[in-house]
Structures are given as structure tokens and as C-alpha cells.
Structure 1
Amino acid sequence: MREASVLQLGLGWFPETHGGAENMFYHLARHLPQQGIAFSGLVLGNTSATLDNGARIDSFAPPTASLPRRVAAARTAIAAALRRQAPDLVASHFALNTVGALPSLRNRPLVVHFHGPWALESAAEGAGALSVRLKFLVERLVYHRATRFVVLSRAFGTILAERYGVPPDRIQRVPGGVEADRYDLPDSRHQARARLGWPQGRPVILTVRRLVKRMGLAALVDSMVELRRRVPDALLVVAGRGPEAAALQDRIGALGLEEHVRLLGFVPDSQLALAYRAADLCVMPSQALEGFGITALESLASGTPVLVTPVGGLPEVVEGLDGDLVLAGTDARAIGIGLEEALTGQRRLPDADACRSLVRSRFDWPVIAARTAAVYRDALQ
């Protein structure tokens, strides 16, 4: 395989900004060079670094930059990188950071990593109609120029084809990845709880989510009202931060769930694997537009089974596991019934070895990087 050079246009650099798109960009930088893909990247942030594998990452504007300054800075930095490096291909991870530089790309192939429908996600979070329309326009401009699209799931492939008019033959599915070794800890559940200070004698349910409406956390909290009656010592632990934190805490208090639901806030990466290992069960209660669900993968890599709602790409994460891991619905009742059945042994769950084996065979980062490199080489034909 000949080496190809790719200029990657990211949303942010994962050690600085935690999100699914940033996570994927970060790990592609770490693993693509081993697949014969020379990597250089531009991101919003403060980073300037060359990794051990030769991948180079630079920021084009600080996170505090205004929107006009950010678009202009991205356009200037991309044009300069194209003149300096002459990459074989450009890969975009966020339409806004790419749209201003479209004239500079000329005939160079463009691959879009579709991490989610920006406009539709904004609408789901209550953005105004004008803002949503402008975001949709930006996306359409970039997607019209693209040679290939990488989607995380069949569900997102359908959105690209139906809502953005992308020809299906340009869409290729490459799921999210996870560093399997990082989450396969030697600690027992008892040891992990001791290190975190979690209670030893209680069934613990973990969810790792950004605290926004479409993640389904309100329904999950509501489900604990009935669950505590049937599993009196059940404890829900919520890791993550976001604009819904105060509203969720108020809801917990109003429902009298202070002893059954804990909001941990941001959990650093150094403790996240331990948290998955300490939980009896994880849950992904998403309500809409969930393209894949990296945290579900992380849980499985830790050997902890995960229940998911039948939303977007979540069912695709647990395909192939022998267990009833897809909930019947997204409402509090469906979530609560699923949690109760899982905790009381009425619902089939895969064992820890099966969870880890699935991740290593399908989702470990060397596997995902090889599949991504194949898409790039296809785009260069």
C-alpha cells in the first residue's frame, strides 16, 4: 500500500475538548499513520503538537474566537496548509470549519466524517428556526462538494441520504472505535468501587452522558421512582456535565431520589474506565439523533453490559451479543422495566468476556483505522 497524505479538519483536540467527534479525530491521529496514511490536522483549540508517529496537529483559532473570526481563521489556515503540504486528500469532521475553504480545495478529493446532523441536533435542543436553517445550508454546501462520506451507523447513513440528498453509493459505514486495552482493567468490581469510594452492597447503574435534553436523562431519572420500589437499594450514577445539570438536580430533589441518583459532574479519563468497571450495568437512554454511542463501547470494553434505547445507531453497537440489550422504548416506563429485569436476573445479559470479545474483534482502534484508511484509498481512485 502506498502512503497517502491527508489533511484532517477537526472540531477540536480531544485532550482539550471532550466529545465524540473530537474523540474520533484524536484516535485517527494516533492510528492512521500505522495504516500508511500520513496525518496532519487543524482544529479549534490551543494545541500545537507532533505525535510520536509523525502526525502533526495545529490549532487555527482559540476556542473563545467569535464565529466570524473562527470561519476566517479556518479558511486562512486551510489554504496555507494546502499550499505547504499538498495533501492527497482532505477529510472534514465539522462542516463549519470547512465551508470557508471550499474554493481552496479545487479538485482535491474531500471525505466528510459525518458525526451527526448539526442542524437537526440544534433543532432538538431548541435553537431558533433561522439558526437551524443557516446550519443546514452550511452542511449542504460542504456535503455537495464531498467525494465520500464516513458514517458511524446505518441510521446516520439514512439521515444523510434522506435529509441531505447524498447518493447512497458515496456513503460508507465505519463505526466508532475504542482502545480496548485501556478499559480492560485488572480490578474486580469490588476493588474498583473501593478506589472510587462507591458503596459496595448496592446495585449500581452508570450512565456517561452530556447533560442535554436529547440524551434522555430526565426519563432515566423518572424511571428510578418505580425502580427503587422494586429494587430498593438501586443507585443511579450520572457522569457528565452540560446545560441540563441544574434542572436534573431539581428533578431528583422533587422526586425524593437524593439517595438513589447521584450527579458526578465531569469524570476525568483517568477514572472513567474504573467507573465502568465498578458498575453492575450501564444504560444509554438517548431520545433522538444518537449516531453511535462511544460510551456504550467503553462500557462493553470494560466487561460491563449496557442497555440502550432503540434510537439511531445504538442497537448497532450491541449487535452480535447474546442478550436482551435493546430496551422496548425511550420513555421512563420502558427504561425502568429494562433496568429492573436486568438487575433481578429476568433479562439476559452477556458476560464480561463476551462484551470484551465483541469490542476487540469489531471496534478496537487498529480495526477502525484500517477501515477508515480503506475509505480514503477508495476516494483517491
Structure 2
Amino acid sequence: MTTQSIHSLQIGMHWFPERAGGLDRMYYSLVGALPGAGVHVRGVVAGSPKVEQDSGGAIHGFGSASRALPLRLMSARQALRREIRRHRPDVISSHFALYTFPGLDVTRGIPQVSHFQGPWADESFVEGAATLSQRIKHHLEQSVYERSSRLIVLSRAFGDILTKRYAISPERVRVVPGCVDTAQFDPPCTPAEARLRLQLPQGRPIVLAVRRLVRRMGLEDLIDAVKQLKPRHPDVLLLIAGRGRLEAELQQRINDAGLADNVKLLGFVPDAHLPSLYRAATLSVVPTVALEGFGLITVESLSAGTPVLVTPVGGLPEAVAGLSQDLVLPATGADAVADGVDSALSGRLKLPDAQACRDYARNHFDNAVVAKRVAEVYAEAIAAANRGVQ
């Protein structure tokens, strides 16, 4: 806990109530929790004028995320200049390199901390971006990270990416996991009541995956795993919540495999219904095949008392290993996912109970817990700047 108030300027991507995404949810959660850890918050994001009203004047939207990129970058720079002239912060907190980059000259001389939530350039490339686009994004990220005296990563796995892909000194990297309002994901209902509320079947084992429908999430493997599971668990029901450009392809895969009764694409699930959906599930699965720094959905599921199986990718094992190593699958791919889910549903794999899941999430990943650790990193960056070192 910091001993005195720190004034921070938080540069985000979008405002979560306007745009749903893991980065945006964590930004939204953190800026709400930081004041309780002694950090005064102001910030800028790509968003509408409603952002200022929704945040009590703390966060300002500098324009729609749908505008042309040059206009957004210019607006981001203007917003940063305006906020710094209004009140020079003690620390710049960058959550998204794209909107931090155009203001690097404006923020010069102010200690900067970057929240590294994933290699943006590499993620874009995996999801189909052109090589030139990847190189430009990497250069942009590199410029922002080199300016930062401290960098917060969600896991040791992403710390390794920072040091290897971006040549950042390990001495500047601090591991702080993602945060969740654990109380929000602990609804006052039983699994049976949650299923009744959501009109889900009572007697069937429900496997849940909350993911963007993009290539690196491993959803193809998850669907293929259900095909293997069906002979042993004919009533298994996989629910996939999320949107993305693979929707039509995944639906075709479901149809071709004859799984229309066993796999359902739910599309976008409103935030208000998500806790009940987690509570209704028998277990969650995160089948990611590449570039997963933390997996916020693991903590959301655990907060609801629902155990979660994860692939051994990136920071996923770190998120659950403190609860049970058995929650980490031995490999990616349909075979490993199918074997893991089969073991869980048949009882061969002992899953932690609901209370153990909730306690673990609350003690390690609740907003208030993580905000204190973030505040300590901000204080460290400020102290280093005062000593004239990075």
C-alpha cells in the first residue's frame, strides 16, 4: 500500500460498458479499484462522451473507436496533452500502446508504467494480419515499452515475451495478475437456479467456454473434443459464448460433426447474465493454442465457484496452478481436451469444490488485492525517476 496519494493518468483502449473485451474489462476494473489503494485516477480511452459521465468525470473518451486510425491517434494525442496541462500526473499508466505512442513527446519526463496484456503485433499476425502490419505494430509497441521504467505483466510467461521479443530488461518487469470483481461473479443462486433462470437443461453436464471466436482460442479443438466425448457422455452440452469472425466456420464444423444437440454458439452474452452462466456450468474450459497471457475468464469462472480446465499455454497454468495442478491439461489439441473433460465428468479427476474455487479467486485476484500490488509498482517507478534511474 502506498503511503501517499499517487496521481495517475491511465491510457486505455476502450471503455468496457461500450466495448466488451478482456483488456477493456481489466482496465475498467482496475481504474475502479485503484482509488482504494491510494491512486487517484484520470484517464483517456477511445469512446463516446458518455464515458465521462459513466466514470464520474475520471475517464474521458477522445472519440469513437470506429473512426479512421489517423483521426483516433490525433485525438489521443490531443486528449493526453489536455489532461497533462490540466494536472500533471505523477505517473503515466499505459494499457494500450497504440494510444500511448502518439503522445510520447507530450508525456516525456513523467514516469511511465506499461501494463503488458499481450504482444499486440503477434496476436494480430496469428489472427491473419499482414506481415507489414505486424512490423509496424511491433515498432510502435517497442517504442512505448522502451520508454517505460516499469512494465507490469500478467504472468511470468508474458514476462519472457517482453524480455525476448522486445529486449526489455527483466529488472524492469513486475508480475501482477489480472483482476476481477469477484463478488460480481458470485451470484446469489445455486447452479440449478442459474440453469432455470437461463432456461438451460437441469440434468445435463454443461461445459462452458467464454471466448472471442478467433483462431488462436482453440475452439475448433474444443468442438472436435465434444465429438470424441459424445459416445461416452451422450448428453454433454458445450456452450460457447462470444462473437468473432469464425462464427460461421464454427457452426459449419458443428453441423458437419452432427453435434447440433451437443454444441451451442450463444453469441454475445450480456455482462449481467455472465455470472449466472458460469454458475450454471459444470466446468469451464479454456482451450487456447497460442498467446494467452492470463485468461481472465479463468478467474471469472472460479469466482462463480466453477472449476476450469486450461491448456498449458502462456500464463494459463499460472492462473490455476495455485488451486490445483490437475486443472492444467497436459497438452493442447482435441485429444487432450477430450481426455481432460472426460476425466472431470466421470469423476476420475478430482476437481476443487465451489467454495475452494471462490476463496482462491477472492484471495488472489480480487480487484482490491491486485490494485494494491499495482500501486506498489507505480510508487516504485516514481521513486526510480526521483533517483534519476530507470
- TM (norm. structure 1) is 0.98
Letter in 2 for 1:49: E
Letter in 1 for 2:365: F
Q: Percent identity at matched positions?
A: 49
Q: Determine the C-alpha separation between the residues in 1 that align with 2:359 and 2:139.
A: 42
Partner residue, 1:316 = 318
Q: Is it true that 1:369 corresponds to 2:371 in the alignment?
A: yes
CA contact (8 A) 1:60 1:74 kept: yes
Q: Determine the C-alpha separation between the residues in 1 that align with 2:136 and 2:129.
A: 11
1:352-363 to structure 2, matched below 5 A, reads 352-363=354-365
Partner residue, 1:89 = 91
1:219-298 to structure 2, matched below 5 A, reads 219-298=221-300
The CA deviation string for residues 43-90 of structure 1, in whole angstroms up to 9 with x for no partner, is 0011332568x6601111212210111111111111111111111111
CA contact (8 A) 1:189 1:278 kept: yes
Letter in 2 for 1:332: A
- TM (norm. structure 2) is 0.96
1:189, distance to aligned residue in structure 2 (A): 1.2
The CA deviation string for residues 210-256 of structure 1, in whole angstroms up to 9 with x for no partner, is 11000000010011111001111101000111111110001000111
CA contact (8 A) 1:38 1:55 kept: no
Q: Determine the C-alpha separation between the residues in 2 that align with 1:342 and 1:9.
A: 41
Partner residue, 1:343 = 345
Q: Secondary structure at the match of 1:269?
A: coil
The CA deviation string for residues 146-188 of structure 1, in whole angstroms up to 9 with x for no partner, is 1110100111000000100000010001101111111222211
1:322, distance to aligned residue in structure 2 (A): 3.6
Q: Secondary structure at the match of 1:259?
A: coil
Q: Determine the C-alpha separation between the residues in 1 that align with 2:127 and 2:331.
A: 20
CA contact (8 A) 1:75 1:101 kept: yes
Q: Is it true that 1:119 corresponds to 2:121 in the alignment?
A: yes
Partner residue, 1:139 = 141
The CA deviation string for residues 293-342 of structure 1, in whole angstroms up to 9 with x for no partner, is 11110110111100000000001111222461111111101100111010
Q: Determine the C-alpha separation between the residues in 2 that align with 1:160 and 1:339.
A: 33
Letter in 2 for 1:298: E
Q: Is it true that 1:48 corresponds to 2:51 in the alignment?
A: yes
1:173-192 to structure 2, matched below 5 A, reads 173-192=175-194
Q: Determine the C-alpha separation between the residues in 1 that align with 2:57 and 2:161.
A: 32
Q: Is it true that 1:30 corresponds to 2:27 in the alignment?
A: no
Letter in 1 for 2:202: Q
CA contact (8 A) 1:92 1:113 kept: yes
Q: Determine the C-alpha separation between the residues in 2 that align with 1:88 and 1:324.
A: 43
Q: Determine the C-alpha separation between the residues in 2 that align with 1:126 and 1:227.
A: 31
Q: Is it true that 1:104 corresponds to 2:77 in the alignment?
A: no
Structure 1: 5+ residue runs without aligned partners? none
Q: Secondary structure at the match of 2:273?
A: helix
Letter in 1 for 2:203: G
Query: Displaced runs of 4+ in structure 1, greater than 3 A?
Result: none
Partner residue, 2:329 = 327
CA contact (8 A) 1:323 1:348 kept: no
Instruction: Go from structure 1 to structure 2 and tell me whether the alpha carbon gap of 1:75 and 1:8 turns closer, same or farther (over 3 Å shift).
Output: same
Mean alpha-carbon deviation: is it higher for 369-378 or for 40-49? 40-49
Letter in 1 for 2:221: A
Q: Secondary structure at the match of 1:6?
A: strand
Partner residue, 2:201 = 199
CA contact (8 A) 2:5 2:38 kept: yes
Partner residue, 1:150 = 152
1:206, distance to aligned residue in structure 2 (A): 0.5
CA-based RMSD of the aligned residues comes to 1.1
Q: Determine the C-alpha separation between the residues in 2 that align with 1:376 and 1:358.
A: 26
Structure 2: 5+ residue runs without aligned partners? 384-390
Q: Secondary structure at the match of 2:106?
A: helix
Letter in 1 for 2:274: L
Q: Secondary structure at the match of 2:269?
A: coil
Instruction: Go from structure 1 to structure 2 and tell me whether the alpha carbon gap of 1:137 and 1:322 turns closer, same or farther (over 3 Å shift).
Output: closer
Q: Determine the C-alpha separation between the residues in 1 that align with 2:51 and 2:252.
A: 41
Partner residue, 2:388 = none
Partner residue, 2:161 = 159
1:348, distance to aligned residue in structure 2 (A): 1.7
Q: Determine the C-alpha separation between the residues in 2 that align with 1:227 and 1:354.
A: 27
Mean alpha-carbon deviation: is it higher for 300-309 or for 322-331? 322-331
CA contact (8 A) 1:6 1:89 kept: yes
**More RCO (CA 8 Å, sep 6+):** 2
Q: Determine the C-alpha separation between the residues in 1 that align with 2:325 and 2:40.
A: 40
Q: Determine the C-alpha separation between the residues in 1 that align with 2:324 and 2:19.
A: 35
